[in-house]
Amino acid sequence: MPRPIKISEAVVRRLPLYLRVLDDVAQTRGIKLLSSQELGERAGVTPALVRKDLAWFGEFGKQGVGYDVHYLRNELRRILHLDREVRIALVGMGNLGVALARYHRRRYLNEPDFHLHIVAMFDSDPRKIGVLVEGVPVLPVAELPGLVERLNIKLAIIAVPAEAAQGVADQLVGAGVKGILNFAPMKLKVPEDVHVVTADLSAELQCLAFYLQP
Amino acid sequence: MPRPIKISEAVVRRLPLYLRVLDDVAQTRGIKLLSSQELGERAGVTPALVRKDLAWFGEFGKQGVGYDVHYLRNELRRILHLDREVRIALVGMGNLGVALARYHRRRYLNEPDFHLHIVAMFDSDPRKIGVLVEGVPVLPVAELPGLVERLNIKLAIIAVPAEAAQGVADQLVGAGVKGILNFAPMKLKVPEDVHVVTADLSAELQCLAFYLQP
């Protein structure tokens, strides 16, 4: 089934949630089928939304039977392009960059099916160049354009201060990057074919504040 | 207007987006009114969704006129409980914790209206105790229960390794915390009246991978 031209970002954002549930369930011996009710409950959404979201991509469930866990998991991985290696560059090796590298490394050491790999790290501070973080050397930002292109890196994480972020984004986009996870607290300007997710930690805290009793 | 009992989390998650747009617009001299079209465009959602989301909380716009920027901004701040100080504890002062503290501090230094304050930081490593991070001393985790209660802290950020996260969450909840932003890559078990947001960085990257061309 050809992918529809425009799928809402809200739908896309729920796919990793479903995948996470299926990953968990697949590790539980004996669970081969999952109803939209169960999948929804574990993912924190309604069964109707599960069915509607997945229907964008094909017919995965059987009425009254549910979803085949193994099959749906593979399909979601394919839809998210996680069935092959995705190479990532990490720019900015301050506290946040190092924490992200460690966090990420642990994730894919524990999960052999997790193919999102940070293959290059960059910083502009000469004192950090050559330092090994999780076994990967930190390289000077000057080498970013050439290396990102040569290694065919399509995703990048920006963990530099706000004032440096747009310059880094421009270099990444110029070298062929199509997706950016931005931790700098500002809005990046990128061409239309480049997708940016801004990790806004303040927004997460604001959501939590909503639930506080007055 | 009394708050409805159950508002979907998806709605709540968009409120900070709208607030951010209004904050930006409020800083632009001369803009006093904003249509749902403009608000939606800047927040990245449809005008219909803007109107639907806000309708949960009251009637803020005037047909054909739009929203009063100043008024709606104040109302959203009130709805999100951001019109008063919200005190936050940060647990785990590794690279991630320090990065979060710095990021957060910069945010509220630049925005006098941003009242989410990290007022206490904790770690279990004796070498970190007493260190000042952004001017706040790191305290031993043993002091967490007493201090969280005494300072009336209701929100917390967990930035400890996965294996320590549930223990920390239990202590926080026992001391009265009602909202947790969890950076440990695992699902926390908490009572029903406690709200948890898990920051899943891998899920963000998976969303980006979706948009890559095969």
pLDDT higher than threshold 90 for residue B89: yes
**Predicted ipTM beyond 0.85:** no
User: How close is the nearest chain A Cα to the Cα of B44, in Å?
Assistant: 9
Say if residue B103 is in the same domain as residue B74. no
Nearest to B17 by CA among A200, A182, A9, A8: A200
Say if residue B128 is in the same domain as residue B174. yes
Q: At B5, is the pLDDT very low, low, confident or very high (cuts 50, 70, 90)?
A: low
Q: Is A147 exposed, middle or buried (0-12, 13-18, 19+ CB in 10 A)?
A: middle
Q: Using an 8 Å Cβ cutoff, are A89 and A148 in contact?
A: yes
User: What whole-number distance in Å separates Cα of residue A34 and Cα of residue A12?
Assistant: 20
Q: Output the pLDDT for position A9.
A: 81
Interstrand relation of B179-182 and B155-158 (parallel, antiparallel or unpaired): parallel
User: How close is the nearest chain A Cα to the Cα of B172, in Å?
Assistant: 15
End position of a domain, from candidates B45, B79, B113: B79
Q: Does residue B78 belong to the interface with chain A, where contact is any CB pair within 8 Å?
A: no
Q: Output the pLDDT for position B124.
A: 96
In this complex, do A180 and B44 lie within 8 Å of one another by their Cβ atoms? no
In this complex, do B99 and A96 lie within 8 Å of one another by their Cβ atoms? yes
User: How close is the nearest chain B Cα to the Cα of A34, in Å?
Assistant: 20
Q: Is A168 exposed, middle or buried (0-12, 13-18, 19+ CB in 10 A)?
A: buried
Q: What are phi and psi of B61, to 5 degrees?
A: -105, 160
In this complex, do A205 and B94 lie within 8 Å of one another by their Cβ atoms? no
Q: Output the pLDDT for position A41.
A: 86
| B17 contact residues in A (CB cutoff 8 A) | 203
In this complex, do A210 and B95 lie within 8 Å of one another by their Cβ atoms? no
Q: Output the pLDDT for position A5.
A: 57
Q: At B59, is the pLDDT very low, low, confident or very high (cuts 50, 70, 90)?
A: confident
End position of a domain, from candidates B39, B57, B79: B79
Q: Looking at the domain assignment, is residue B3 inside a domain?
A: no
Per-residue pLDDT of chain A (214 residues; tens, 9 = 90+): 455 457 888 889 889 989 988 988 888 777 889 999 999 888 878 889 999 999 999 888 777 788 999 999 999 999 998 888 889 999 999 988 998 898 887 766 666 677 888 999 999 999 999 999 988 999 999 999 999 999 999 999 999 988 999 999 999 999 999 999 999 877 899 999 999 988 877 888 888 888 887 6
Say if residue A104 is in the same domain as residue A197. yes
Q: Looking at the domain assignment, is residue B186 inside a domain?
A: yes
Instruction: Output B156 or B185, whichever has higher pLDDT.
Output: B156
- Considering only B11-20, B168-177, B195-204, which range has the smallest mean pLDDT? B195-204
Q: Which residue of B has its CA nearest to A17?
A: B203
| DSSP assignment of A104-123 | HHHHHHH-TT--EEEEEEEE
Q: Look up residue B179 and give its amino acid.
A: G
In this complex, do B96 and A103 lie within 8 Å of one another by their Cβ atoms? yes
Q: Does residue A80 belong to the interface with chain B, where contact is any CB pair within 8 Å?
A: yes
Q: Looking at the domain assignment, is residue B212 inside a domain?
A: no
Residue B134 CB-half CA count within 13 A: 20
In this complex, do B116 and A205 lie within 8 Å of one another by their Cβ atoms? yes
Q: Looking at the domain assignment, is residue B175 inside a domain?
A: yes
Q: Output the pLDDT for position B3.
A: 52
Say if residue A154 is in the same domain as residue A102. yes
Q: Looking at the domain assignment, is residue B2 inside a domain?
A: no
- Nearest residue, CB atoms, B197 vs list A10, A116, A204: A204
Q: Output the pLDDT for position B214.
A: 64
CATH number, domain containing residue B98: 3.40.50.720
Q: At B9, is the pLDDT very low, low, confident or very high (cuts 50, 70, 90)?
A: confident
Q: Which residue of A has its CA nearest to B16?
A: A203
Question: Residues 133-192, chain A: which have Cβ within 8 Å of B?
Answer: 154-155, 157, 178-181, 183, 185
* pLDDT over 90 percentage in chain B: 53
User: What whole-number distance in Å separates Cα of residue B193 and Cα of residue B179?
Assistant: 9
Say if residue A108 is in the same domain as residue A198. yes
User: What whole-number distance in Å separates Cα of residue B165 and Cα of residue B199?
Assistant: 13
CATH number, domain containing residue B16: 1.10.10.10
Q: Output the pLDDT for position B69.
A: 93
User: What whole-number distance in Å separates Cα of residue B37 and Cα of residue B40?
Assistant: 5
Domain hosting residue B164, numbered range: 86-202
Say if residue B55 is in the same domain as residue B109. no
Q: Which residue of A has its CA nearest to B85?
A: A209
Contacts of B130 (CB under 8 A, 6+ apart): B137, B138
Say if residue B97 is in the same domain as residue B198. yes
Instruction: Output A202 or B81, whichever has higher pLDDT.
Output: B81
Say if residue A59 is in the same domain as residue A126. no
In this complex, do A100 and B210 lie within 8 Å of one another by their Cβ atoms? no
User: How close is the nearest chain A Cα to the Cα of B122, in Å?
Assistant: 17
Q: Using an 8 Å Cβ cutoff, are A189 and A166 in contact?
A: yes
| DSSP assignment of A166-179 | HHHHHHHHHTT--E
| B213 contact residues in A (CB cutoff 8 A) | 178
Instruction: Output B19 or B62, whichever has higher pLDDT.
Output: B19
pLDDT higher than threshold 90 for residue B180: yes
Say if residue A32 is in the same domain as residue A73. yes
The pLDDT of B25-49, averaged and rounded, is: 86
Q: Looking at the domain assignment, is residue A65 inside a domain?
A: yes
Q: Output the pLDDT for position B150.
A: 96
Nearest to B20 by CA among A46, A201, A139, A66: A201
Question: Residues 25-64, chain A: which have Cβ within 8 Å of B?
Answer: 44
| DSSP assignment of B39-103 | HHHHHTS-HHHHHHHHHTT---EETTTEEEHHHHHHHHHHHTT-SS-EEEEEE--SHHHHHHHHH
Q: Looking at the domain assignment, is residue A212 inside a domain?
A: no
End position of a domain, from candidates B52, B79, B106: B79
* pLDDT over 70 percentage in chain B: 94
Say if residue A16 is in the same domain as residue A42. yes
Q: Looking at the domain assignment, is residue B210 inside a domain?
A: no
The domain tally of chain B equals 2
Say if residue B74 is in the same domain as residue B167. no
| B212 contact residues in A (CB cutoff 8 A) | 81, 86, 154-155, 178-179
Q: Using an 8 Å Cβ cutoff, are B81 and A209 in contact?
A: yes
Say if residue A69 is in the same domain as residue A99. no
Q: Does residue A204 belong to the interface with chain B, where contact is any CB pair within 8 Å?
A: yes
